[in-house]
Amino acid sequence: MTTASRLGGHSSQERIVPAVVEAASPLRPTGSQGERRPGESSARQIARCIAAVGPLLAGTGLWAASLPSISTYDLDDYGLSPRLGLLWYTGLAVLLVGAAANLCRRWMSGTVAGGYLVALATALYGTIPLIVDEPRYAWTYKHIGVIRYIELHGSVDWNIDIYHRWPGFFATAGFFSVLGDRPDPTSYAAWAELFFTLVNVVLVIAIARVLLHDNRIAWTAATIFVVTNWVGQSYFAPQAFGYTLTLGLMLILVWQFGGTHHSVLGSRVSRCIHRCTRRPVSMWPVPTKAVWPRSTAIAILLFLDFAIVASHQLTPYILAVQAGALVLLGMLRPRWLVAAFLLITVAFLLPHLSYVNQRYGLFTELNPLANTETVASSTDTLPGKAFNVACGRLLTAVIAVAALAGAVRLLHRSDGRAVALLLLATTPVFLIFGQNYGGEAILRVVLFALPWCAVLAAVAVAGVSHEVSLAGAQPAMHGSRRCLRVAGRYSLFAVMLTCAALFVPAYFGQDEIDLISHDQVAANRYLYAYGQPGSVIMNIASNAPVRSSANYNLFFDESLFRDEKFRYRPLGAADVDDVVATMHAYAPSGYLVFTPSTEAFARVFQLTPPGAVVSLEHAIAESGFFTPFYVGPDTRIYALRPIPASPGSTSLPAAKPADGSPGRAS
């Protein structure tokens, strides 16, 4: 085994791009003695290539063949996972087994590993864009509206909403829309999850390669990252954009400025580890050598930090805490970089401080247990939702245990990089001591800890598997060595299959309320095009695709079930007056929207008894207070009388159903 590929050895690579290219080089014999097996026949080489590539082709083919048979109609509380079908699951299993087998081979192929990564990411994150016409998640459309506003006006307006005060992501997306002749962001937003995942995979590979100088561990970490990123924060949103920039910034930090420096806290931690392991420990055993000029690297870091600060409210604080922890332990220099990160963050916040404090509050609660509660906890009484939530929690526990095992293994080798990786994985926990972030604080903790947990988990499973395979080449083997070989051979398979089995229900488990139909989007566009400005758009629940047009700021939007008087009881004709009064509280005119996704939301979160929403719609249609404004295949919009459809018009224009054919408003 070469020095460069041995865990903890020194790397001869001095540039990040060559490091990634080396990790991806075809048929690279990671952990082997030579470039080719001595005496190996051509037939054996062909058989080895077929064994490596065959599962990739077969798994991809099975997955692709399963797509036409996947139905998203009338999903239950288990979400999409039961509808994916046996063929889809078989294809995924073949891809997982093939990827794990390639990573366990003594002659691991980086090119094949990359192929499996792309195939797995596409199967997991590309299935929904291929079977559904419109982007997933109702929040996506709010982001699309901001981009369209910026494209139309060429500027932002702080008085509209908080998105205009943190416009980095929206301005960047708008810039690329202009370069692409201003395409509708809806046309590509659905692919954001796959795009951001693939970019993050490249960054995880590079970070692991820089930190540990081992190609096998780098590819394994990226594969684990793909099958464990279940929290659903990679969609078309500022969080996904800021998260990717944060990984890029951390890569430059550990690559250009990592090393062992004098630190009081670092010395104490090192002595503590020495007392436990009885071995001298260096906090950063392999000092990195800066390649870029110092001023260039710092300028890029500050630029990336400003882009993160201007794009997302939470991400820069997690970044500053993670970088600050490494500085305190003497693993990063210069110290003033963290101070610069904090200065940029606070300086950007100050003009918006009163707005944020009044609308949201800087701190919600100081009780960390209360801040870990999620929105999903209110659906635990449904068997499907309880199962999906349990899978997400168990998946987090599995990756945490695997990461801890990897840290122990590094510490057993007196490798202080375990401390750095553990710090990066645990410091996001600080978030739950002051914010619940709308019920998503714990999900953000999991999100920011995941890359570092994936690297540590890869150390646990890939390192053991690799070392045991080398030991297995020895002719003599004791019983304990044989048991260790068997455990090492199957540990990676077990971890990957377990994580994927838990990932699917955790990730696809809320698609009955997250998937948006084409008719919903068409109805929303029609409403903003022909609706009366100044009106309120009242949806039944909060998971409707609103604010998707450039003029969204001319309307109010709200959900009926935000008012508690409409919850947890039957609805009908007696509630029509209350609905009218609620809408008039926002504006003198308005539109009431009924869609399948909002009805599913009411059912999943048990806001009303079964049939209550349907009963309310019947009462609205017969009340005389409302007139049909849009009637589509699955979406109905009722206008509050009297209201013109557009300025200067005395009648409603013809509605356009989802299929694009001329429609009607009756």
Residue 607 covered by a domain? yes
Are residues 160 and 210 located together in one domain of the fold? Answer: no
What is the percentage of the chain residues whose pLDDT exceeds 70? 78
Instruction: Supply the DSSP string of 17-37, one letter for each residue.
Output: HHHHHHHT-TT--TTSSSSS-
Are residues 412 and 275 located together in one domain of the fold? Answer: yes
Residue 362 covered by a domain? yes
Residues 6+ apart with CB under 8 A from 642: none
Number of domains in the chain: 3
Q: Torsions phi, psi of 661, nearest 5?
A: -80, 160
Lowest mean pLDDT, pick from 216-225, 395-404, 467-476: 467-476
pLDDT at position 563: 87
pTM: 0.84
**Could you say which of 493, 512, 531 is where a domain stops?**
512
| pLDDT tops 90 at residue 39 | no
Residue 10 covered by a domain? no
pLDDT at position 290: 66
The Cβ of residue 290 has, within 10 Å, a number of other Cβ atoms equal to 14
The Cβ of residue 178 has, within 10 Å, a number of other Cβ atoms equal to 13
Are residues 184 and 198 located together in one domain of the fold? Answer: no
Residue 661 covered by a domain? no
Residue 323 covered by a domain? yes
478: helix, strand or coil: coil
**Could you say which of 126, 156, 189 is where a domain stops?**
189
pLDDT at position 366: 62
**Could you say which of 488, 512, 536 is where a domain stops?**
512
Are residues 502 and 453 located together in one domain of the fold? Answer: yes
Are residues 20 and 55 located together in one domain of the fold? Answer: yes
| pLDDT tops 80 at residue 414 | no
Are residues 277 and 327 located together in one domain of the fold? Answer: yes
**Chain-centre distance of CA 105, in angstroms?**
30
Are residues 63 and 180 located together in one domain of the fold? Answer: no
Residue 391 covered by a domain? yes
Are residues 295 and 340 located together in one domain of the fold? Answer: yes
Taking the alpha carbons at both ends of the chain, their separation in whole angstroms is: 76
| pLDDT tops 80 at residue 652 | no
Residue 658 covered by a domain? no
Residue 660 covered by a domain? no
Q: How confident is the model at residue 604 (pLDDT cuts 50, 70, 90)?
A: confident
Q: What is the pLDDT of residues 477-492, one digit of tens each?
A: 455 555 555 566 678 8
Are residues 378 and 322 located together in one domain of the fold? Answer: yes
Q: Beta strands 590-594 and 636-640: pairing type?
A: antiparallel
Are residues 157 and 46 located together in one domain of the fold? Answer: no
The Cβ of residue 375 has, within 10 Å, a number of other Cβ atoms equal to 12
Are residues 450 and 553 located together in one domain of the fold? Answer: no
Looking up residue 593, the CATH number of its domain turns out to be 3.40.50
Give the structural domain span for 167. 139-189
216 and 5 in contact (C-beta within 8 Å)? yes
pLDDT at position 457: 94
308-347 burial code (b ≥16 CB/10 A, e <16): bbbbbbbbbbbbbbbbbbbbbbbbbbeeebbeebbebbee
Q: Torsions phi, psi of 219, nearest 5?
A: -70, -40
**Rounded CA gap, 515 and 138, in Å?**
8
Are residues 621 and 635 located together in one domain of the fold? Answer: yes
Q: What is the pLDDT of residues 334-384, one digit of tens each?
A: 889 999 999 999 999 999 988 888 887 766 666 666 656 665 555 556 888
| 359 to 350, 352, 355, 364, 480: CA distances (angstroms) | 15, 11, 6, 12, 62
Lowest mean pLDDT, pick from 43-47, 129-133, 405-409: 43-47
**Rounded CA gap, 264 and 29, in Å?**
41
Full strand arrangement of the beta sheet holding 636-640: 556-559, 536-539, 590-594, 636-640, 626-631
